[in-house]
Amino acid sequence: MDIIIRTGTIDDAQAIHSAILGIGEAIGEADKVASTVDDIRRHGFGGKPAFETLIAEVDGRFAGLSLFFPSFSTFYGKPGIYVQDLYVAPEFRGRGVAEQLMRETAQLTRQRGGTYIRLSADAINQTAQKFYKRIGMRWAEEECIFVARHAAFDALCELNREGSE
């Protein structure tokens, strides 16, 4: 099986979005995916894209993707990338697609002067966690991810406007 890895284009927006829906389904949260194909087109391509993708193909068929964006470590003083989504279509799992995507993502990061990859795995996705460990990644025990979204994000935006600290 030959795995071809290429840069994603705007023509891949539907496949990218389908992969994101696939991730949602795999973790039992498909109903929480609010993005649309138009969101992918609007924010992933053009003059200032919010993310990039590497697309894996097997025999011309979409097999998976790595969706990522730039990161910078003030501790290291070096750039890197954050992998937001790594997805392999069910019919291609267990065939090395995810590993090839991660290797290509790492090589691209290095070519751009980056020295690290960060990502988070869903707490319930034991398969993904085992995979990341197998390819040499480690859980960052010294970190804890926090998020502000929806009402919490809106409230955070309003803190200074209402005279709060």
What is the C-alpha to C-alpha distance for residues 152 and 161, in angstroms, rounded to an integer? 15
pLDDT of residue 159: 77
Half-sphere exposure of 13 (CA within 13 A, CB side): 15
The pLDDT of residue 160 is above 80: no
- Element of type H or E holding 18: helix 13-26
pTM for this entry: 0.92
Q: Does the structure show a pLDDT above 80 at 29?
A: yes
pLDDT at 162 over 60: no
Q: Which domains, ranges and CATH numbers included, belong to the chain?
A: 3-139 (3.40.630.30)
